[in-house]
Amino acid sequence: MRYQILAPDQRKCRRCRKFALRGEDRCRRHVGRGAPWRLLSPAQGRGESRMLARLERVGLLPLELLVLPVWRNLQGIRTSERAPQRLALVLAWDKRYKAPLHWAQVQRQAMDLALKYPGSRQPTAYWYENL
């Protein structure tokens, strides 16, 4: 309480009058450093990752695809490489009987990507392997 600054005496942002950052005369929004939560640019698989999250929320990711080893082997890889490959797997899943060569090609690309990073797969429970 000895060194605490009360709210009316705190430094305010010059633009919006909210609390300013320490050593600055602007708030977090107006300081101009960019958002701290946006560490990755949108081009690094973030759009695909958001699309996969949206599909998962709605319940459109097929469970048969999620238990395939090719899907699970991509687990420990960076989002910039994992998300586009998983989205390609989801889009090719519906065409696996109509265009089996396309499905095999996408599956092979995912396997090659997983082999590029050995040991990246997280261990799963023993019962999960047999689904």
The pLDDT value recorded for residue 119 is 67
Q: Provide the residue ranges of all domains of the chain, joining segments of one domain with +.
A: 62-130
The pLDDT value recorded for residue 1 is 62
pLDDT in tens, 34-91: 555 455 556 688 889 999 999 999 999 999 999 999 999 998 888 889 999 999 999 9
Whether the per-residue pLDDT at 101 is higher than 60: the answer is yes
At CA 123, angle to CA 121 and CA 128, rounded to 5? Answer: 110
Q: What percent of the chain stands above pLDDT 90?
A: 46
Whether the per-residue pLDDT at 125 is higher than 50: the answer is no
102 close to 95: Cβ distance less than 8 angstroms: yes
The pLDDT value recorded for residue 11 is 87
pTM exceeding the 0.85 threshold for the entire prediction: no
What whole-number distance in Å separates Cα of residue 115 and Cα of residue 73? 9
